[in-house]
Amino acid sequence: MDPAWEWHVGDPVGLGNDVGAPEVPYMGYVKRPGEDEEEIEEREKKEEEQRKRNQLINKSKQISDEAWELNREGRYNDALVFINRALEYYELASAFNVKAIILENLNQFNGAVLYYNEAIECDPKNETYKHNKAACLINYCYLLISPNNYNEGLKKIEATLEI
């Protein structure tokens, strides 16, 4: 636990005991030994930035989940609007993956591959994103393999095998 926080007994919301607030233990901030006002201010600023970042991440996840549900219902255009909004809040690898899946369902394979690449770049250890990209390229190959696009289809197969 951060040594700058310690347990106190009292009224953390400042209501006071005159309104019946119990004396309860709560975490309170205390000055670290040897810490000056500038260090305190800098640490508080970093903590506030982290809280704001976490709020944006949570909002992005929530909207991304809604987009995923719309995608599952087959409402791809609505899902695309939601996932774009989620990415405005915070660019999560999972949101890039969802957008790629939505674009793939709309047969926009080039765009889907770009967003799979974004997801993989954000989280290179996630094998699901790589698998999804490979599956997308295979689906794209089936669309391309015809007498007119045979060579391009082969290029996509080679790209799939590299993954």
pLDDT in tens, the chain (163 residues): 455 555 555 555 555 555 555 555 555 555 666 767 788 788 888 888 988 999 999 999 999 999 999 999 999 999 999 999 999 999 999 999 999 999 999 999 999 999 999 999 999 999 999 999 989 988 887 777 766 666 776 676 777 666 6
Cα separation, 82 vs 140, in Å, equals: 25
**Does residue 62 contact residue 83 with C-beta atoms inside 8 Å?**
no
Distance, in Å, from the CA atom of 106 to the CA atom of 97, rounded to the nearest integer, reads 14
User: Which residue segments constitute the domains of the chain, with CATH numbers given?
Assistant: 1-30 (no CATH), 31-162 (1.25.40.10)
User: Is the pTM higher than 0.85?
Assistant: no
Distance CA 40, CA 61 (A): 31
- Cβ-contact 90, 57 below 8 angstroms: yes
Q: Are 152 and 144 in contact (CB under 8 A)?
A: yes
